[in-house]
């Protein structure tokens, strides 16, 4: 069946236009009523099933403009982009219209004129849903012209009058007509632009160079903001704040499992350069716990937050450091270990904003402390210290162990066999039969002993020596 290509065909097809709110609402209801096997509404969003998503669904059922408040890296943008999947796959529009006009009720002057001229022969185009989503990161230099529109000097030069709507160059919001428009970091818009935005949302008109242009665009506005910026006095003009009907608060993953689930989702576990990734569960836990420890650390500015991107880039960096070893030592697997963790100082640094009173502290010292917290918590979770008494006794006799992130995994195998009791404890961690996993588990045990003050440790970059 071919799609209607003229207004008369569209009328004959029985198509009934819907507002953006009606469309989102009815598609959401269809999704909610659908079977469990239907694609999830917010794919790739973890940890919001009982908090954020139910609130978002309610807002969509009500047709509310939405403000999403959250610290950085809480999947705010991804949530909003997920709304696109609730739009109809295609909708008819006046062909050639810059703002995706509804053929039955065009808004722009040009289309209104063309309906008069072409009548039922008016050409129809079909707009895919991806084209009905607009997004802008707010900054102080975003102008009314960017968001709403401007008189186009070229059109004036061609002889159009200033008050002629057809002399307008449309901004991003009119271009999202019959769609969703997202503004990230709303408080960074200047007051003037906020007022312009309010007028468009509330009064459905705009003022350009003193001319009032009525432009009843149909847009669902979803904005995001850091909660502290949004609530601090004077950052948002009151009428605009009132215009957002619902305020939804996002949060960081509330459990270790969720933090790891995000890591697994974002970083593919597929082989690299033909080498399989063999990542012990405790290494993933350590990476996730570094971020979680940073989110409660007094040295870290918590109002700006610690993004889940910290977890993701730390994990990628850890894998990269392990892959280098696999390549250099020509090993058949990539198995990250404790001596690789020094590499994540670089990937963590840019993700933390230190509190003013701690600014004289070295960032690397703060990250070292977070790493120690994460490794110790993970060790204590998985290993019973008393099981390691034979290893502690062995080290107490004056034996030392030196490891590094460049040491081939095969060199660990003999050591693990010769230290009484070590292999038995490693066996409690899982089936760590390969040299890479064995090396990783051995380092985990030694570092845990050090953090529990059972053995000393000296460190230089990726080189670690343990002894008493």
Whichever of 6 and 465 has its CB closer to Zn ion, that residue is 6
In 3D space, the residue among 256, 148, 127, 251 whose CA is nearest the CA of residue 194 turns out to be 148
Tokens of 247: 């305020």
Whichever of 200 and 222 has its CB closer to Zn ion, that residue is 200
| Binding segment (CB under 5 A) for Zn ion, from list 93-101, 132-140, 363-371, 373-381 | 93-101
Q: Measured between alpha carbons, how far is 198 from 195 in angstroms, rounded to an integer? A: 5
Cα distances (angstroms) measured from residue 322 to each of 319, 439, 464: 5, 12, 16
| Binding segment (CB under 5 A) for Zn ion, from list 35-43, 96-104, 163-171, 392-400 | 96-104
Whichever of 175 and 284 has its CB closer to Zn ion, that residue is 175
Q: Where are the alpha helices (DSSP H) in 134-255?
A: 144-147, 153-157, 172-175, 191-202, 227-231, 238-243
In 3D space, the residue among 188, 106, 175, 178 whose CA is nearest the CA of residue 145 turns out to be 175
| Binding segment (CB under 5 A) for Zn ion, from list 99-107, 188-196, 327-335, 361-369 | 99-107
Binding residues for Zn ion, total number by CB under 5 A: 5
Q: Measured between alpha carbons, how far is 433 from 431 in angstroms, rounded to an integer? A: 6
| Binding segment (CB under 5 A) for Zn ion, from list 27-35, 100-108, 392-400, 452-460 | 100-108
From candidates 23, 71, 101, 340, binder to Zn ion by CB under 5 A: 101
Tokens of 270: 């597929």
| Binding segment (CB under 5 A) for Zn ion, from list 103-111, 203-211, 244-252, 379-387 | 103-111
Q: Does 93 sit near Zn ion (CB under 5 A)?
A: no
Element (DSSP H or E) covering residue 68: strand 66-69
Whichever of 125 and 429 has its CB closer to Zn ion, that residue is 125
Q: Measured between alpha carbons, how far is 43 from 397 in angstroms, rounded to an integer? A: 55
Closest separation in Å from C-beta 308 to Zn ion: 41
Q: Measured between alpha carbons, how far is 196 from 243 in angstroms, rounded to an integer? A: 13
Helix crossing, 281-294 with 256-266: angle to 10°?
110
Closest separation in Å from C-beta 197 to Zn ion: 21
> In angstroms, how far is CA 107 from the centroid of its own chain?
35
From candidates 97, 167, 201, 306, binder to Zn ion by CB under 5 A: 97
| Binding segment (CB under 5 A) for Zn ion, from list 108-116, 124-132, 214-222, 378-386 | 108-116
Q: Measured between alpha carbons, how far is 235 from 194 in angstroms, rounded to an integer? A: 10
Whichever of 111 and 283 has its CB closer to Zn ion, that residue is 111
Closest separation in Å from C-beta 130 to Zn ion: 19
Whichever of 105 and 130 has its CB closer to Zn ion, that residue is 105
Closest separation in Å from C-beta 200 to Zn ion: 16
Q: Does 108 sit near Zn ion (CB under 5 A)?
A: yes
Closest separation in Å from C-beta 110 to Zn ion: 5
Structural Rg of the chain based on CA atoms: 29
Closest separation in Å from C-beta 13 to Zn ion: 20
Q: Measured between alpha carbons, how far is 128 from 23 in angstroms, rounded to an integer? A: 14
Whichever of 127 and 452 has its CB closer to Zn ion, that residue is 127
Q: Are 221 and 136 in contact (CB under 8 A)?
A: no
Whichever of 10 and 236 has its CB closer to Zn ion, that residue is 10
Per CB under 5 A, contacts with Zn ion among 264-293 are none
Angle at the Cα of 167 (from 199 to 213), degrees rounded to 5?
25
| Binding segment (CB under 5 A) for Zn ion, from list 5-13, 92-100, 332-340, 419-427 | 92-100
Whichever of 21 and 110 has its CB closer to Zn ion, that residue is 110
Q: Do the bridges between strand 401-404 and strand 246-249 make them parallel or antiparallel, or are there none, so unpaired?
A: unpaired
Whichever of 96 and 430 has its CB closer to Zn ion, that residue is 96
Q: Does 111 sit near Zn ion (CB under 5 A)?
A: yes
Q: Measured between alpha carbons, how far is 417 from 400 in angstroms, rounded to an integer? A: 15
* Site for Zn ion, rule CB under 5 A: 97, 101, 106, 108, 111
């Amino acid at each position: 069946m071919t799609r209607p290509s003229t207004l008369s065909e569209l009328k004959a097809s029985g198509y009934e236009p819907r507002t953006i709110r009606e469309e989102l609402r009815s598609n959401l209801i269809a999704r909610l009523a659908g079977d469990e096997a239907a694609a999830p509404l917010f794919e790739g969003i973890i940890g919001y099933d009982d908090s954020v998503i139910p609130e978002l669904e309610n807002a969509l059922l009500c047709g509310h403009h939405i403000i999403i408040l959250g610290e950085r890296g809480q999947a705010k943008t991804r949530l909003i982009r997920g709304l696109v999947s609730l739009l109809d796959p295609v909708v008819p529009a006046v062909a050639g219209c810059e703002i995706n006009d509804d053929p039955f009720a065009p808004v722009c002057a040009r289309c209104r004129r063309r309906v008069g001229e072409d009548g039922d022969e008016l050409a129809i185009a079909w707009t895919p849903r991806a084209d009905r989503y607009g997004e802008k990161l707010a900054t102080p230099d975003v102008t009314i012209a960017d968001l709403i529109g401007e008189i186009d000097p070229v059109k004036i030069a061609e002889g159009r009058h200033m008050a002629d709507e057809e002399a307008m160059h449309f901004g991003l919001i009119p271009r999202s007509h019959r769609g969703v428009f997202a503004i990230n970091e709303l408080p960074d818009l200047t007051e003037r632009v906020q007022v312009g935005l309010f007028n468009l949302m509330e009064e459905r008109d705009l003022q350009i160079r003193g001319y009032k242009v009525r432009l009843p665009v149909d847009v669902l506005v979803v904005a995001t903001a850091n909660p502290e910026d949004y609530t601090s006095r004077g950052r948002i003009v009151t009428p605009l704040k009132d215009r957002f009907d619902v305020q939804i608060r996002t949060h960081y993953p509330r459990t270790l499992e969720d933090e790891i689930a995000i890591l697994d989702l974002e970083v593919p576990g597929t082989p690299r350069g033909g080498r399989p990734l063999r990542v012990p569960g405790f290494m993933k836990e350590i990476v996730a716990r570094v971020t979680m420890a940073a989110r409660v650390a007094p040295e870290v500015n918590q109002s700006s937050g610690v993004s889940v991107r910290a977890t993701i880039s730390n994990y990628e960096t850890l894998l990269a450091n392990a892959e280098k070893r696999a390549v250099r030592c020509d090993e058949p697997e990539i198995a990250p270990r404790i001596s690789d963790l020094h590499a994540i100082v670089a990937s963590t640094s840019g993700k933390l904003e230190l509190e003013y009173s701690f600014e004289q502290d070295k960032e690397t010292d703060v990250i070292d402390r977070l790493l120690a917290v994460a490794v110790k918590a993970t060790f204590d979770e998985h290993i019973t210290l008393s099981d390691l008494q034979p290893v502690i006794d062995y080290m107490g006799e004056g034996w030392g162990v030196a490891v590094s992130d460049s040491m081939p995994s095969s060199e660990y195998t003999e050591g693990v066999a010769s230290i009484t009791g070590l292999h038995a404890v490693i066996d409690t961690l899982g089936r760590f039969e390969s040299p890479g996993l064995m090396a990783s588990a051995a380092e985990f045990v030694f570092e845990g002993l050090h953090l529990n003050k059972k053995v000393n440790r000296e460190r230089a970059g990726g080189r670690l020596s343990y002894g008493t």
